[in-house]
A and B are shown apart, each in its own frame.
Chain A
Amino acid sequence: MKKIATLACAALLAAGPALAQDWPTRTVTVVVGFGAGSTPDLLARLIADGLQEKLGQPFVVDNRPGAGGNIGLDAVAKAEPDGYTLGVTIPGPLIVNPMRMELMYDPEEDIRPVTMLGTQPSVLAVNAELGVDTLDELLDLLRADPGGYNYASIGVGSISQLAMEMVALASGTEIEHIPYTSSPEAVQAVIGGEAQMATMPPLAVLSQAEEGTLKLLAQTSAERMPIVADVPTFAELGIEGVQAEAWNALVTTAGTPDAVVDTLYAALAELLSDPEMQERISGLGFAPVQMTPAEFEARIAEETPRWRSVLEAAGLLNE
């Protein structure tokens, strides 16, 4: 009788949702919606290595590039909610894209946010020969000739476009959008003169700014980020509402048991507060962050209406 009870217990344990102490017992997949070598991929690999060390099971990065990260997040949305499929995503597939187009998943229903891994501002960079040194001078130039200037972005619906639309909105002018496919291409267009300005991740513009071909006028984060500490924020310059951070976050499938998320988050929190890890994250151009799952969910809720209004103004909202 006792034996049967033990067996039954064991069976229950095996069949029931994973408990904190028995997750992970096998390989965990970390899906990245971008190709190998992309910033989210590099970050995901760093985190996966760290988690593997902390939790004692292999964490394997699975690149599912395509559709601006939607394919990767879709794979997380459709996975079993057992904690064995995690995802690293940017704001696009999680917040922006669902407002722009019909998707196969609904992030609110299908995705459980865990925590933000790192964040980076976008930096407004202009061609050094444009003859402006400050944001004010740029805005004067734009207001004097609405629609007369071009900005480059890394694609329709990307943060680099939306941040620029925020600038246009805040300054009450129009700037012509020319989409490119990658940040180096867009930066090249600004240097070559095809476009006059762009908001880009710091890593894409820093070396050009050092060379003197680009000037960095403002950054889009709420507070100055260490990587571009000498560039003022829009808010400091008196322009409210231009806030856009290209963060990377860890998510999992909705319905994943709390116990699993707790174990995962505890390991992540430890990992992300390790100075060596923070240094490596900074090396990729990110500012390391600490955010509980609840804080991260609140952050998403806070950002959503802001993106909605920009999308609406840019005519990109899918009704």
Chain B
Amino acid sequence: MDLFANLALGFHTAVSPAALFFCFLGVTLGTLIGVLPGIGAMAAIAMLLPVTYHIPPTEALIMLAGIYYGAQYGGSTASILLRLPGTPQAAVVTLDGYPMAQQGRAGVALFITTIASFAGSVLGVLLLAGFAPLLARAAMSFQAAEYFALMVLGLMAAALLTQGSPVRGLIMVAAGLILGTVGTDLQTGTFRFVYGIPELADGIGLVAMAMGLFGVSEVIANAARGGAPAARRPRWREMIPTRADWRAAIPAMTRGAGIGAGFGTLPGTGSSIASFVSYAVEKRIARDPSRFGKGAIEGISAPEAANNAAAQTAFIPTLTLGVPGDAVLALMLGALIIHGIIPGPGLIAQQPALFWGLVASFVLGNLMLLVLNLPLIGLWISILRIPYRLLYPAILVFICIGVFSIRNSAFDIWLVLIFGAIGYGMRLLRFEPAPLLLGFILGPLLEQYLRRAMTVSRGDPMIFLERPISAAFLGLAALLLLHSLYTALRRRG
């Protein structure tokens, strides 16, 4: 009963003309920003932060949140059409989305990712509305040992991301883990592989790496080939997914949304790991895993649903505990502080109109996004008709603006270009960038949680087995490993 009273309060807040306007403004801006690779929600929200001084906190937060989850919708567009992910989550979507575009199925891919985004968001919002305090408490029981075990499980997923030889995949994962050690040792403050370059003190920029390995390398490869492989121009009718598409996509979306929602509630793991893991799950349970990487529809629906679900459930720790799930959400907490609202466990009780108004605005905002994004598909596809000699320079400019905008650093522009060259070299040697990226994301987290857990236990590794959740994750990882070995041996034998 309470829930309905709360939602009534929320909708009462969210359907006021001002709230609707700011919600619409937010999701529209989010969509546009999401489509531009590299110019993430971070830059947009940072720019709009001063504006929020002048509007009431609820409307301000509704708008900023709209940008945040709206950007998740658009994020896959450039990945599918141009193999140009602006975020690591979007990098997962390139794996099957870009092949689909090359087969002339860009419209279908965009249609499905929009629906998947919506489905993931809906599940996320439901959990946020119904179980936020409960889930927050569950997330609290996750300590260093559990996080470590979860990251080990994620590492298992990395091996499954590879399309070709598993050995090459493992080499890439290892390379990613090694690159992840660059920066400041969190435990001691010592610099590792920084070579006196202050820009490396916080490690290699994740977005610069993702855009370089995927986007810039694609531009180089196409230039070397003298133009992209002619992507077949899709007809309007082909935009609508077939019944077979739906049959494959819907279960994948459901699983992806579930995985994403779970990861989202855990602050610090982020939606990128959720995307990678949900992709790996689809590949693992597929009857014919060889379809993946060649345009499997499950390969775009699951990760897309996962990252949107995670984007919504990430508000659970942010609003109920005051622990932001990622840097963008931290920025939103900053916006609350400007208005004198201190985020923390008392927020829902003290600011019911703000919390429930925000939840209600998520419902409305996602509906707006659905209505906004479906008609835009036709427009995005027409990007493919732009001649490559015009498109590619423009893409490079956008990439450079995008990485620069993250921390106003010219160093990152060099970084993205260097990773572009490395990515092209890897492509020539048939090494895949996705496992490297996941290794790079997981490496620092693995290390941090391992060392933290060992500090807590004063060096006793049994902590990982004594804590039930951690033990369960590690057991699952071991089973996965054994199963992979078993299938590999049987295939050979």
Shortest Cβ gap from A80 to chain B (Å): 18
> Once the chains are docked, how many angstroms separate the CA of A157 from the CA of B198?
16
Tell me, yes or no, whether A192 is within 8 Å of chain B by CB: yes
Binary B-proximity of A55-92 (CB < 8 A = 1, otherwise 0): 00000001111111011001000000000000000000
Given A63-B46, A176-B455, A284-B337: A184 and B323 within 8 A (CB)? yes
A-B residue pair count with CB separations less than 8 angstroms: 133
B311 interface residue (CB < 8 Å to A): no
Are A45 and B49 neighbours in the complex by a CB distance under 8 Å?
Answer: yes
The answer for the CA separation of A65 and B408 in the assembled complex, in Å, is: 8
A150 touching B455, Cβ below 8 Å: yes
**Contact B198–A156 (Cβ < 8 Å):** no
- Indicate with 1 or 0, residue by residue over B177-209, a CB within 8 angstroms of chain A CB atoms: 000000010111101000010110110000000
B323 interface neighbour in A45, A62, A185, A206, Cβ under 8 Å: A185
Known: A66-B407, A184-B322. A71 touches B345 (CB 8 A): no
Question: Is the CB–CB distance between A155 and B49 below 8 Å?
Answer: no
B143 and A194 within 8 A (CB)? yes
Interface check A208, CB cutoff 8 A: yes
CA distance A191 to B458 in the complex (A): 20
Supposing A207-B342, A211-B344, A213-B345 touch, asked if A156 and B188 sit within 8 A by C-beta, the answer is yes
Q: Is the CB of A156 within 8 A of B186?
A: yes
Interfacial chain A residues near B18, Cβ < 8 Å: none
Q: In the assembled complex, how far is the CB of residue A163 from the closest CB belonging to chain B, in whole angstroms?
A: 16
B residues within 8 A CB of A308?
Answer: none
Contact with B along A281-312 (1 / 0, CB 8 A): 00111000000000000000000000000000
Query: Which chain B positions have C-beta within 8 A of A194?
Result: 143-144, 452, 456
Number of interface residues of B (CB under 8 A): 49
Contact A207 to B346, CB < 8 A, known contacts A71-B198, A179-B186: yes
Contact B201 A70 (CB under 8 A): yes
**Is residue B267 within 8 Å, beta carbon to beta carbon, of the partner chain?**
yes
> Are the CB atoms of B49 and A37 closer together than 8 Å?
yes
Instruction: Answer yes or no: A263 CB below 8 A from chain B CBs.
Output: no
Whether B396 is near chain A, meaning CB under 8 Å from some CB there, is no
| Contact flags B310-354 to A (C-beta < 8 A → 1, else 0) | 000000000001111001001111110110101111110000000
Contacts A156-B189, A207-B345 given; indicate if A66 touches B201 (C-beta within 8 A).
yes
Q: Which residue of A lies closest to B345 (CB)?
A: A211
CA distance A157 to B185 in the complex (A): 12
Q: CB-CB < 8 A to B49: which residues of A?
A: 36-37, 45
Q: Are A37 and B46 in contact, CB atoms less than 8 angstroms apart?
A: yes
Known: A66-B201, A70-B198. A191 touches B140 (CB 8 A): yes
- Residues on the B chain within 8 Å of A285, using CB: 337
Q: Which residues does chain A contribute within 8 Å of B191, judged by CB atoms?
A: 101
6 additional contacts, CB 8 Å, given A41-B334, A42-B334, A150-B455? A63-B46, A66-B409, A71-B199, A184-B324, A188-B267, A208-B344
Can you list 16 A-B pairs, Cβ within 8 angstroms, ordered by A? A36-B331, A37-B46, A37-B334, A37-B335, A63-B407, A70-B201, A71-B409, A184-B321, A184-B322, A191-B140, A192-B140, A192-B143, A194-B456, A207-B347, A285-B337, A316-B189
Top-3 shortest CB links A-B: A207-B344, A37-B334, A156-B189
